[in-house]
């Protein structure tokens, strides 16, 4: 059975049930009408003599008819015009549909989506854990990583445009030319040194230098020979130029290898020097300011700007090539970052607190705009509904309960009418009909 067929079956069941309750309410009203007529006809026909109990029954039945008709009119008037008569202030839901939509929208936004309610809901939700549960899925991680890689070329194209790149450059320089930047840089450097990560950076730089020396050995040899030729003359350059170039390159590579040994004194001296520079930056504001200005000047230089653009273009080529490879380095790096982030969200109390605080501040900041848009959305949706169809659907949902109002009105009318008559008759001895 399809979902549509299931909905149709439930709709038909609801309709039949509503009709059954309508008939029961109408039948009860009919009983009151018949009872009222009998209490008048019976004495006239000589079936029974007038007495106090007959009058109480007559008063109750009479009031039951009035109560039943009044409640029938009220219930029907909500959804349509009673008996099709053009009575004012009837068919309230169809004729006041737009007004009801606006009222419902305002009610939801002003009494449901309040700041207090939103805060209460956010406090009950473990948002970091919920996000971690979503991200802790290989398929989700893969989807996010692939999606990010696919949009990266467009983002890089946009960032490479002259206007955007100029703005990014100005923003970066403004960010660096700030006292807080040095504080962050010092903390980062100290963390690298304390965890011996600076040695990995140094090793990477040394390997990079050695690889470039080997790759450019021919060009470097030619440059050294040219310098020997310039300084010592053609004969000296011809005799020992190549030998000197070989020795110079071999010495440079040997020194780089010596530095690259983990327990080398040069590496240890480098660590001591780096710690001393970090201490100076923390204790001497003039040194920190001078370093900031030097960094800004370097990054502002046209050659450095061109170099960064070149790096951006190379990075773009890597991203484009990774698009065709589901197991590309960028995709795997993003997936690894997501896995690391998931673990941090589960166990890092500080990160969890920051996520909760930032999400709450963002939601509360956007709440007025969201509430306005939600009210407009609810209003537009209800205004777009067919008035008659909406009234029918609402009646189907609440009609059964409304028929109980008709039951209650009829029974209560009967009881109140009978009791009221009995009390007044007992006090004043008069017929209240």
Q: How much of the chain, in percent, has pLDDT values that exceed 70?
A: 64
Q: Check whether 66 has a pLDDT greater than 90.
A: yes
Structural domain contains residue 362: no
Structural domain contains residue 11: no
pLDDT digits (tens, 9 = 90+) for 157-203: 766 666 656 666 666 666 666 666 666 777 777 777 777 666 666 67
Structural domain contains residue 358: no
In terms of domains, do 87 and 205 share one? no
Structural domain contains residue 284: yes
Q: Check whether 258 has a pLDDT greater than 80.
A: no
pLDDT of residue 33: 93
Listed ranges 120-124, 168-172, 191-195, 245-249; the one with the highest mean pLDDT? 120-124
In terms of domains, do 76 and 206 share one? no
In terms of domains, do 83 and 136 share one? no
Q: Check whether 55 has a pLDDT greater than 60.
A: yes
pLDDT of residue 35: 93
Give how many domains the chain has, as a whole number.
Answer: 2
pLDDT of residue 173: 63
In terms of domains, do 419 and 289 share one? no
In terms of domains, do 175 and 41 share one? no
Which residue among 331, 347, 363 closes a domain? 347
In terms of domains, do 132 and 65 share one? no
Structural domain contains residue 12: no
Q: How far is CA 385 from CA 49, 92, 107, 176, in A?
A: 59, 15, 19, 56
Structural domain contains residue 2: no
- Three-state secondary structure readout of the chain: CCHHHHHHHHHHHHHHHHHHHHHHHHHHHHHHHHHHHHHHHHHHHCCCCCCHHHHHHHHHHHHHHHHHHHHHHHHHHHHCCHHHCCCCCCCHHHHCHHHHHHHHHHHHHHHHCCHHHHHHHHHHCCHHHHHHHHHCCHHHHHHHHHHHHHHHHHHHHHHHCHHHHHHHHHHHHHHHCCHHHHHHHHHHHHHHHHCCHHHHHHHHHHHHHHHHHHHCHHHHHHHHHHHHHHHHHHHHHHHHHHHHHHHHHHHHHHHHHHHHCCCCHHHHHHHHHHHHHHHHHHHCHHHHHHHHHHHHHHHHCHHHHHHHHHHHHHHHHHHHHHHCCCCCHHHHHHHHHHHHHHHHHHHCHHHHHHHHHHHHHHHHHHHHHHHHHHHHHHHHHHHCCCHHHHHHHHHHHHHHHHHHHHHHHHHHHHHHHHHHHHHHHHHHCCCCC
In terms of domains, do 70 and 150 share one? no
Q: What is the mean pLDDT of residues 341-369?
A: 86
In terms of domains, do 285 and 180 share one? yes
Confidence of residue 86 (pLDDT cuts 50, 70, 90): confident
Which residue among 298, 326, 347 closes a domain? 347
In terms of domains, do 340 and 260 share one? yes
In terms of domains, do 420 and 322 share one? no
Confidence of residue 432 (pLDDT cuts 50, 70, 90): very low
pLDDT digits (tens, 9 = 90+) for 290-308: 767 766 666 666 666 666 6
Mean pLDDT of the chain: 76
In terms of domains, do 164 and 287 share one? yes
Predicted model pTM: 0.46
Structural domain contains residue 309: yes
In terms of domains, do 82 and 147 share one? no
pLDDT of residue 254: 67
Domain range for 137: 126-347
**Least trusted range by pLDDT, from 105-109, 154-158, 333-337:** 154-158
Which residue among 284, 318, 347 closes a domain? 347
């Amino acid at each position: 059975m399809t979902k549509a067929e299931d909905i149709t079956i439930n709709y038909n069941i609801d309709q039949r049930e509503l009709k059954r309750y309508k008939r029961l309410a109408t039948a009860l009203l009919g009983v009151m009408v018949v009872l009222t007529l009998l209490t008048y006809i019976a004495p006239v026909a000589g079936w029974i003599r007038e007495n106090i109990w007959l009058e109480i029954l007559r008063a109750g039945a009479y009031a039951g008819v009035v109560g039943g008709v009044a409640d029938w009119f009220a219930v029907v008037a909500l959804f349509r015009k009673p008996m099709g008569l053009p009575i004012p202030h009837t068919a309230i839901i169809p004729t006041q549909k737009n007004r009801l939509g606006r009222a419902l929208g305002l009610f939801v936004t002003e009494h449901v989506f309040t700041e207090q309610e939103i805060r209460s809901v956010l406090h009950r939700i473990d948002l970091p854990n919920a996000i971690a549960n979503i991200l802790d899925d290989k398929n989700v991680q893969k989807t996010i990583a692939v999606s990010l890689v696919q949009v990266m070329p467009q983002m890089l194209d946009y960032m490479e445009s002259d206007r955007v790149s100029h703005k990014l450059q100005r923003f970066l320089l403004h960010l660096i030319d700030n006292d807080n930047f040095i504080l962050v840089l010092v903390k980062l450097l100290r963390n690298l040194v304390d965890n011996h990560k600076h040695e990995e950076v140094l090793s990477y730089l040394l390997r990079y230098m050695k690889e470039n020396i080997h790759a450019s050995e021919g060009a470097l040899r030619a440059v050294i020979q040219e310098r020997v030729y310039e300084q010592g003359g053609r004969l000296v350059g011809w005799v020992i130029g190549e030998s000197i170039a070989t020795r110079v390159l071999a010495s440079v590579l040997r020194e780089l290898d010596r530095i690259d040994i983990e327990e080398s004194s040069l590496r240890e001296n480098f660590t001591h020097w780096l710690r001393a520079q970090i201490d100076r930056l923390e204790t001497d504001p003039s040194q920190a300011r001078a370093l900031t200005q030097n960094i800004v000047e370097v990054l502002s230089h046209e050659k450095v700007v061109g170099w960064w653009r070149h790096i951006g273009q190379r990075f773009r080529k890597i991203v484009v090539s990774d698009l065709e490879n589901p197991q590309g380095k960028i995709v795997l790096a993003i997936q690894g970052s997501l896995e690391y982030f998931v673990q941090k969200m589960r166990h890092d109390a500080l990160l969890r607190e920051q996520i909760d605080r930032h999400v709450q501040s963002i939601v509360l900041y956007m709440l007025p705009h969201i509430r306005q848009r939600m009210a407009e959305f609810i209003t537009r949706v209800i205004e777009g509904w067919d008035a008659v169809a909406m009234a029918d659907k609402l009646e189907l949902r609440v009609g059964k309960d409304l028929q109980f109002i008709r039951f209650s009105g009829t029974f209560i009318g009967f009881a109140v009418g009978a009791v009221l008559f009995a009390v007044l008759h007992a006090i004043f001895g008069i017929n209240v009909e």
